[in-house]
């Protein structure tokens, strides 16, 4: 039937159709299949769609193979980006054309110049347009109006403004937002406040970039710690100065030396001061007195004491608490008991960490078995030792050999 209708349309039509089939097949079964599928879907969309598509193909080809190739490539990339992108692009083309050939021409020219400036520029421009529009038509309108008024004020003004915006943005969106917000709030506080703030910035900068940077950094860190902290710091500076330049100088010197020892040291010292004071003035006074007496006993004593405290705390607050409690109870039993206990610990440690660990473990297991067991065991050790080191040694050796023979033998 197809052959008949092709021939009745004339030998030229039949020949053209057969030639098309041959060239499709020679391009590979996949191409032929793709083309036939396209024809089917076009026809199923209605004769009008098929006719429109074929007409487009003809006009593209007559404009030259390069135009046709370019158009098909565009269609492919649009579709590969997803049906939604392709739909959006076609809709844009329609609305541009309906706005008149001049608008369409202007838009396409803008796209070309953006792309020739590099894909990154084109991407940046489109992103800006999207974000402006998503912020609402009013924002987009306002932005475009600003661009116009800047340019009318002269290329130099526009350039200066854009450069400022770039440097603010490169410092991060948050910085740009912060700067614009500051400008707004300064102006809303009145022209005098804005003038005063800008004057301060100028005088800081004239004192050198380093001074300006240092001042701004201090203000930022104080504010990021909360308005209350910033207020507190400014109040402290005032009260220190009113107490006399010497007091202020002394306080600032202390802060410098703490910071030069590292931010961690400074933080640790300030935290300690806070926690001591929150525990009450008496505790703070007691702690400072202890530090003085330790130092007067020599830097080595002070260093040793602080090191012990660190290692106890790193073992956990519970260990530190337990150790301090033990020290208190030993001292309350009298200096002699405390001295004896510390001597025992030293001799155990000098015998090796393993011996010390073993002895402490034994003490723990005896105590967990009850005070009576612990007392009995210590009494046995004393009586064995009083009978002479040889007897004690012999008894311990017997215990070892019984245990190595198995718990049952030892029990028997």
Q: How far apart are CA 212 and CA 214, in angstroms?
A: 6
Write out pLDDT tens, residues 161-191.
Answer: 878 888 877 888 788 888 778 878 888 888 8
Q: Tell me how far apart the 2 most distant CA atoms of the chain are, in Å.
A: 133
pLDDT in tens, 34-49: 878 888 888 888 888 7
What is the spatial distance between Cα 59 and Cα 61, in angstroms, rounded to a whole number? 5
- Answer whether residue 289 shows pLDDT above 80: yes
Helix ranges (DSSP H) in 207-334: 209-224, 227-242, 245-260, 263-278, 281-296, 299-314, 317-332
What's the CA gap between 204 and 219, in Å, rounded?
13
Per-chain mean pLDDT for the chain: 81
pTM of the model: 0.29
Measured CA to CA in angstroms, residue 298 lies from 294, 303, 304, 312 at distances of 7, 9, 10, 22
pLDDT value for 63:
84
Q: What is the pLDDT of residues 380-403, one digit of tens each?
A: 888 888 888 788 888 888 888 888
d(CA 13, CA 36): 18
For residue range 303-316, list pLDDT tens digits in order. Answer: 888 888 888 878 88
- Segments making up each domain of the chain, as ranges: 1-33, 371-412
């Amino acid at each position: 039937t197809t052959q008949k209708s092709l021939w009745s349309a004339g030998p030229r039509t039949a020949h053209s159709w057969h030639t098309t089939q041959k060239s499709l097949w020679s391009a590979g079964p996949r191409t032929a299949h793709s083309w036939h599928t396209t024809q089917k879907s076009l026809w199923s969309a209605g004769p009008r769609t098929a006719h429109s598509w074929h007409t487009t193909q003809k006009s593209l080809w007559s404009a030259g193979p390069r135009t046709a190739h370019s158009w098909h490539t565009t269609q492919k990339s649009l579709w590969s980006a997803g049906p939604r992108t392709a739909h959006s692009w076609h809709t844009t083309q329609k609305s541009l054309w309906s706005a008149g050939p001049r608008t369409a021409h202007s838009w396409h020219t803008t796209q070309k110049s953006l792309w020739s400036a590099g894909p990154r520029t084109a991407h940046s421009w489109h992103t800006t347009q999207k974000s402006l529009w998503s912020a609402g038509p009013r924002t987009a309108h306002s932005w475009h109006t600003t661009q116009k008024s800047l340019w009318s004020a002269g290329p130099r003004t526009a350039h200066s403004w854009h450069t400022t915006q770039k440097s603010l943005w490169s410092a991060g969106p948050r910085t740009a937002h912060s700067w614009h917000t500051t400008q707004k709030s300064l102006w809303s506080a009145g022209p005098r406040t804005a003038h005063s703030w800008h004057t301060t910035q100028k005088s800081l900068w004239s004192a050198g970039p380093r001074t300006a940077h240092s001042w701004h950094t201090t203000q930022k860190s104080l504010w990021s710690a909360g308005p209350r902290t910033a207020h507190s710091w400014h109040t402290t500076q005032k009260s220190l100065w009113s107490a006399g330049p010497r007091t202020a100088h002394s306080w600032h010197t202390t802060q410098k030396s703490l910071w030069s020892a590292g931010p961690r040291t400074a933080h640790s010292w300030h935290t300690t001061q806070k926690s001591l004071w929150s525990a009450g003035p008496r505790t703070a006074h007691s702690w400072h007195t202890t530090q003085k007496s330790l130092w007067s006993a020599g830097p080595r004593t002070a260093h040793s004491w602080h090191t012990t405290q660190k290692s106890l705390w790193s073992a956990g607050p519970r260990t530190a608490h337990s150790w301090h409690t033990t020290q208190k109870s030993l001292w309350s039993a009298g200096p002699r008991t405390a001295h004896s206990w510390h001597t025992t610990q030293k001799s155990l440690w000098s015998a090796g960490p393993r011996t010390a660990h073993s002895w402490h473990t034994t003490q723990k297991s005896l105590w967990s078995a009850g005070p009576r067991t612990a007392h009995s065991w210590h009494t046995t050790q004393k009586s064995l030792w009083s009978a002479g080191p040889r007897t004690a040694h012999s008894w311990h050796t017997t215990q070892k050999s019984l245990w190595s023979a198995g718990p049952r033998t030892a029990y028997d």
